[in-house]
Amino acid sequence: MASPSCATWAEIPCCIPPIFLCRRIASSLWQPYNPVDVNTVKAIYPGTFDPMTNGHLDLIARGAKIFDHLRVAILKNSEKSPLFTVPERLEMLTEATRGMDNVSVTTFDGLLVDFVRTEQAQAVLRGIRAISDYEYEFQMALMNRRLAPELETVFMMPAEKYSYLSSRLVKEVFRLGGSVEGLVPTIVIERLRARVAG
C-alpha cells in the first residue's frame, strides 16, 4: 500500500497518528544489510590449465571485463596425467593474473557444480575456440545445468590469433624443440625450460 502523499503537514488526515507515519517512512528507507550484493556477478572459469596459454589469459581478461569477480579454478583430480603439478599451475596462473584486481585463482575437486555452489557464484565461464569445441562444451554445460539448474554457463571466444592454440599443442611443440614464444606467458616458458633441463 502506498504511503499517503501530502503536500503539507496540514493535509495529513488527523486520523493518522504521527508515530505511525514515522514508522512507515523509516521502514521504506531501511534496507537490510546484505553482504552478498544481488547485483554482483561472480563467475568460475574452470579448467586443467596444464599449462595455461595466452588463449586462457585472453579469456580471463575478457571475463574480468564482464564479471564483477572471476575465479579461475584448476581441477585437482583430472584423469589426464599432467605435465605440471597443481601447485605449479596455481603459481603460474597467479603470477600471470597479478594486477587483474577482480581475478583470483584457486583449485577445486569433485563436481564443478558443487564447487560453484560453495563459492556462491552465478556463472561458469568457458572458452570456445572453434566449432570442434562446441560438442564437448555443449554436453558439459547441459549436464551442469541438469545438476544445477540455477547455474548459467557463459561462452566467450578468445582472440582469433589464439583459436588454434591448446595446452596439448604447446607441450608437444615444446617437447619436439619448436618455439612457443608468444603462445604462453614467460613464466610458463621458464617452467617448460626448467622441466626439460631438470
Question: Is 63 among the residues that bind ligand PNS (CB under 6 A)?
Answer: no
Cβ(4)–Cβ(11) below 8 Å = no
- To ligand PNS, the closest distance from the beta carbon of 136 in angstroms equals 8
Sheet holding 103-108, edge to edge: 103-108, 69-75, 42-47, 123-127, 152-156
Q: Which stretch binds ligand PNS (CB under 6 A): 2-10, 21-29, 91-99, 136-144?
A: 136-144
Binding mask 69-98 for ligand PNS (x = CB under 6 A): ------x-----------------------
Nearer to ligand PNS, 55 or 192 (CB): 55
Q: Which of 21, 61, 128, 140 binds ligand PNS (CB under 6 A)?
A: 140
Give CA–CA dist 185/162, Å, rounded: 13
Of 125, 144, 165, 184, which lies in the binding site for ligand PNS, with binding defined by CB under 6 A? 144
CB 162 within 8 Å of CB 57: no
Angle (deg, nearest 10), helices 167-175 and 186-197: 40
Query: Catalytic residue numbers?
Result: 56, 80, 129, 167
**64: its cell numbers:** 574480468
Nearer to ligand PNS, 21 or 148 (CB): 148
Nearest to 152 by CA among 23, 34, 43, 69: 43
- Mapping DSSP onto H, E and C, the string for 43-74 reads EEEEECCCCCCHHHHHHHHHHHHHCCEEEEEE
Select 44 or 189, whichever has its Cβ closest to ligand PNS. 44
The site that binds ligand PNS (CB under 6 A) totals a number of residues, namely 9
Task: For ligand PNS, give the closer residue by CB, 21 or 155.
Answer: 155
Binding to ligand PNS (CB under 6 A) within 25-54 occurs at 46-48
Q: How far apart are CA 153 and CA 116, in angstroms?
A: 11
**Binding stretches for ligand PNS (CB under 6 A):** 46-48, 75, 111-112, 140, 143-144
